[in-house]
Amino acid sequence: MTQTTAQTAVNSAVPHNLTGVDYSRPPKRKTGGLVIDVHTHTRDAALTREYLRVADEYGIGRIWTMAPLEDVDALKAAFPGRFEFIAIPKWQNLGPGDDFIAEWMRRLDEFYKRGSRLIKFHMAPGTQKRTGMDLDSPAIQRVMQHAYELGYHFMSHVGDPRAWFGEDRKYKPSEGQRSFDQQFPMLERMLEKYPDRIHMGAHMGGSLEDMDSLQKRLDRYPHYIVDSSATKWIVRAIAEQDTARVREFFIRNQDRILFGSDLVVGEKYDHDHYASRYWVHQKLWETDFNGLSPIEDPDAAEGKPRLAGLNLPVEVLEKMYHTNARHWLYGRVLGRTID
């Protein structure tokens, strides 16, 4: 057995490389300029450095991150101008009760001093269960109002993959979990309440699997935008629907969709793990690739994750990759221009 064959055999056994992709050779981009990634989770500078090596290889420039408050100053010092910081609570403290809320409020002020103007509300069903709160809860409303008064704009994670809802799934109605459809009224109430702030819905607003409802939301709320992040979920949502129809959706809403990866920096991840996310996103948006996705997905039909590329027009890609982030996030949220 040659070295190359052995290498391929090893690679195809890892969850981020089922098909033996050489991630050290990024596909050539269809667009010019660097891509802005609006949704990541970086951490301390040393771990983040390895991730940035991949970001550099894949043409990713500026990055928005949900790094813990404790890492913000060090990241700023190590990588000047590379990151913008989205305000988050201390996830380890996540739970019911006033302590979590009080601590979150304090963090909001600290993030604000460091230049943050976007606050993330993580309201997936699992988070609702752990905290006993949702976007309508008085305590969360206090955080929201405090953020609003400081001048923050909003970001939210609402919903979760449709495959996770049901009696034999993660979110069981018999355990008091709301259905997929029931996740979104609280979001709409928040959108109604703060029409003068940008609101970015993570992971295609949690509802790429229900494009009709997402379209209505985008039409009704001109301040609502979405990011394209969460690789497995988005890849699956596209593969399970009619490609032409999804492509039409992206073209129609080309001014409202921002590129995001949802990459998480951590000790257990290596170069190829990080690269696999950018590789798949690039194939998804830029090509008409139709075949097995290299990233393992336990929720995929018959355990075979399919990647169905949308082959978006270059002018749509340009908007998704940087123009929209410049307009909505740097312009409207931060009130500044970038070169």
User: Could you tell me how many residues of this chain bind Zn ion (CB under 5 A)?
Assistant: 1
- Going by DSSP bridges, is the β-strand pair 153-158/118-123 parallel, antiparallel, or unpaired? parallel
| Residue 262 sits in the site that holds Zn ion (CB under 5 A) | yes
Which position has the token pair 């100053």? Answer: 73
- CA 69/CA 86 separation, integer angstroms: 9
| Residue 37 sits in the site that holds Zn ion (CB under 5 A) | no
Q: Between residues 74 and 264, which has the closer beta carbon with respect to Zn ion?
A: 264
Q: Between residues 21 and 60, which has the closer beta carbon with respect to Zn ion?
A: 60
- Going by DSSP bridges, is the β-strand pair 199-201/290-292 parallel, antiparallel, or unpaired? unpaired
For the bound state, the minimum distance from the C-beta of residue 285 to Zn ion, rounded and expressed in Å, comes to 18
For the bound state, the minimum distance from the C-beta of residue 262 to Zn ion, rounded and expressed in Å, comes to 4
For the bound state, the minimum distance from the C-beta of residue 261 to Zn ion, rounded and expressed in Å, comes to 9
Pick the closest to residue 44 from 66, 64, 65, 74 (CA basis).
Answer: 74
Q: Between residues 31 and 207, which has the closer beta carbon with respect to Zn ion?
A: 207
Name the segment binding Zn ion (CB under 5 A); options: 113-121, 177-185, 238-246, 261-269: 261-269
Q: Between residues 147 and 230, which has the closer beta carbon with respect to Zn ion?
A: 230
Exposure string over 291-314, b if 16+ CB within 10 A, otherwise e: eebbbebeebeeeebbbbbbbbee
| Residue 227 sits in the site that holds Zn ion (CB under 5 A) | no
For residue 35, what are the β-bridge partners?
Answer: 60
Closest residue to Zn ion using C-beta atoms: 262
For the bound state, the minimum distance from the C-beta of residue 109 to Zn ion, rounded and expressed in Å, comes to 23
Give the angle 308-37-200 at the CA atoms, nearest 5°. Answer: 90
Site residues (vs Zn ion, CB under 5 A): 262
